[in-house]
Structure 1
């Protein structure tokens, strides 16, 4: 891995994920140069499941065609087909919150980041800065109950309060703290809204979970009326190491692509259309197997086929972006 001193000091980092192709990641790195100048670098990566990550050959700018304003971006912001998943801004984040870093970008939880040092080195710097502040500076300890906390963001002042232990299998209570205190003072105890009784949770079978494999795990937990922690525990009981939503969604996307390809090939080459239809049936069969046995992984041939399709699309989009850029000049 390249040395951390190889690059100028990082001033900002903004990371985007493609909403259609989740494997595609774009990052904007802002470095502080000598004399107060800044260098803005846009990079692109391929985050492939069960394969090493790789940095793509950069074929065209997406976010830095014009001056890039870091302060105008925030996690959750949508920009076309791109979703912003992480923002670090040294001007605002003197104390970066490590808990806000997504799992895919966490150097402590995702060792595959080591294969793309141009991104992992900058994430390492952010981690060291946040860890140093959290653990190394005794002046940054949490305040006692009743003491005031001054926040740098928005210059707000709030008071530390005792945080009660939450029941992860319960819906959050509505109403403000004042309303709750008034109710308690009046002797009115509001019952917790349980999502599902313990006996009902114990009866959950694999078939119950399979109905929602096509949904993200958070939505599945809401439909099953159980907490996220409980659902993950049930998955471990059934030998499911990871919720299969992404695998099934990926196969669905391949099936839809092949359906369109079959229609196109029927007009040009019937033999080619039959070959594409055969592959479509194979992937449909693989999807059914994963739905029945969610611990199964996508076959290697399917992964390779998916990767080839994705790279062809990426090259086509890059060439199209280049053509549009040249037409504007």
Structure 2
């Protein structure tokens, strides 16, 4: 009698007692499903990842063809907690600023500018090798000096915060 009941249950599309809502037996892993934890997990090396430090982490995950969470977990396994894109971008901007500001003083201290640029490029390479590295104080001071200098230049040119505004005292009532 039970055999007849079981066969009738299989034939009419009803769920078996240990089936999930999608008709798949509970406890079996399906390919292509989230949380499957298959053997096809991608292991990333520092060399693969470090080539992409100059782009945001979402874009890097797309380039590596992995999910954002997978990339973050692999980065933690490789020994760094934060994606160094902003640090690398800051150094690239600092190198450009030093070169730009160095053009003005090239005759006076041109060799000094070149030495600073070389030092910054070495720091950038070291970050690509060891992303958890902290910038030294000299680099931070130089970055702050470049920010100040650029701000002064913009203010002199007229791109400051009040450049397009007229003062109330200048307006005739």
Q: Which residue of 2 aligns with 1:256?
A: 96
2:83 is aligned with 1:246: no
TM-score, normalised to structure 2, is 0.67
Q: How far did residue 226 of structure 1 move?
A: 0.7
Q: Structure 2 CA distance, aligned partners of 1:317 and 1:290? A: 31
Corresponding residue to 2:50 among 206, 210, 213: 210
Q: Give the 5 Å matches for 1:132-171.
A: none
Whether contact under 8 Å (1:221, 1:231) holds in the other structure is yes
Structure 2: give runs of 5+ residues left out of the alignment: 1-21, 23-30
Q: Structure 1 CA distance, aligned partners of 2:84 and 2:49? A: 11
Q: Structure 1 CA distance, aligned partners of 2:104 and 2:139? A: 21
TM-score, normalised to structure 1, is 0.37
Q: Which residue of 2 aligns with 1:201?
A: 42
CA distances 1:48-106 after superposition (whole Å, capped 9, x unpaired): xxxxxxxxxxxxxxxxxxxxxxxxxxxxxxxxxxxxxxxxxxxxxxxxxxxxxxxxxxx
2:143 is aligned with 1:302: no
Corresponding residue to 1:265 among 90, 93, 105: 105
Runs of 4 or more off by more than 4 Å in structure 1? 191-194, 326-329
Work out the number of aligned pairs and report it. Answer: 134
Name the CA shift for 1:198/1:300 in 2 (closer, same or farther; >3 Å): farther
Q: How far did residue 315 of structure 1 move?
A: 3.9
2:77 is aligned with 1:237: yes
SS in 2 for 1:284: helix
Q: Which residue of 2 aligns with 1:284?
A: 121
Q: How far did residue 326 of structure 1 move?
A: 4.8
CA distances 1:207-241 after superposition (whole Å, capped 9, x unpaired): 11011110100100111111111111001101111
Q: How far did residue 198 of structure 1 move?
A: 4.9
The structure with the largest alpha-carbon Rg is 2
Higher RCO (CA-CA < 8 Å; seq separation 6+):
2
Name the CA shift for 1:233/1:288 in 2 (closer, same or farther; >3 Å): same
Whether contact under 8 Å (2:97, 2:146) holds in the other structure is no
Higher percent of residues as strand = 1
Q: Structure 2 CA distance, aligned partners of 1:236 and 1:323? A: 47
Q: Structure 2 CA distance, aligned partners of 1:237 and 1:302? A: 28
